[in-house]
Amino acid sequence: MILTDDELERYARQVVMPEIGEEGQKRLCDSHIAIIGVGGLGAPVIMALAGAGTGRLSLIDDDDVSLSNLNRQYIHNTQTLGLSKIQSAAAFVRSLNPDITLHTHDQRFDTETGHSLLSDVDIVIDCSDLPATRYAVNACCIALQIPLIFGGAVRTDGQVTSFLPANEKSPCFACLFPDADVEFEQAPSCAQAGILGTTTMVIGALQAAEAIRIIVGFGENLCGTLLLYDGLNASFTPIKAQRTPHCPACADRP
């Protein structure tokens, strides 16, 4: 018996699955995942991973909960308005699953602090919404050889993929979105363009599913595929995501 009686009962509906079983659940319970950004995408990622029993979660964000967050960020609520998102998210996780060990960081992720924040993390999930943060997370994950799960969402559209620095064929975030990519840098923010809660729920759920897939070790992961979600027409389109030879971020990587 590798799980406690309480764990066996809490996670019974996934332990019963042959793809997971007790061993897969133990891997989840022993894993440490960092979530950068505790907003639109971070909320469904946290809900899914806290529920599934990810042993340790590191939450990183410097924002406070505001009323306009609540159409989509369901880990926060009317009672936590004005609190830091980190405090609000921690309260949610403790009420859903007190067995999770939380590391909370009420700060913006940057290259100076990134290495120490991610030093013993198994997977990083990028749920941020600023290009500068995304490039910093990408650089840090390449340096530390940590798998990075990327997601983006605006209005009714979203995209998700994963970057595995230990896989020599894996692209990185900067391969797909070069620094000079004007279109990406000038992409409208959710405040300007709008965002539907169902879009972030879909993309966040796909990011969490990718993390579980990689940690437990079943099925095919999304490395090498950028999965596009079109919420206007309810369709998904996978496109090839390739490493670029002179990428400024990963060209020196093996």
Which residues here bind Zn ion, judged by CB under 5 A?
172, 174-175, 247, 249-250
Query: What is the rounded CA–CA span in Å between residue 236 and residue 210?
Result: 16
> Whose CB is nearest to Zn ion?
247
- What is the sign, positive or negative, of the torsion defined by CA atoms of 184, 115, 227, 51? negative
Among residues 61 and 126, whose Cβ is nearest to Zn ion?
126
CB of 64 to Zn ion, least distance (A): 34
Closest by CA to 65, choosing from 78, 83, 86, is 83
Among residues 175 and 212, whose Cβ is nearest to Zn ion?
175
Query: What is the rounded CA–CA span in Å between residue 72 and residue 223?
Result: 27
CB of 148 to Zn ion, least distance (A): 11
What's the token pair of residue 107?
């700060």
Radius of gyration of the chain from its Cα atoms, rounded to whole angstroms: 17
Among residues 149 and 174, whose Cβ is nearest to Zn ion?
174
Among residues 124 and 249, whose Cβ is nearest to Zn ion?
249
CB of 171 to Zn ion, least distance (A): 6
Residue type, 170: S
Among residues 46 and 226, whose Cβ is nearest to Zn ion?
226
In sequence order, the β-bridge partners of residue 94 are none
Q: How many CB atoms lie within 10 A of CB 158?
A: 28
Among residues 175 and 190, whose Cβ is nearest to Zn ion?
175
CB of 245 to Zn ion, least distance (A): 9
Name, in order, each residue with C-beta under 8 angstroms of 29's C-beta and a sequence gap of 6 or more: 3, 7, 53, 54, 55
CB of 186 to Zn ion, least distance (A): 21
CB of 204 to Zn ion, least distance (A): 24
For tokens 């469904």, what's the residue?
44
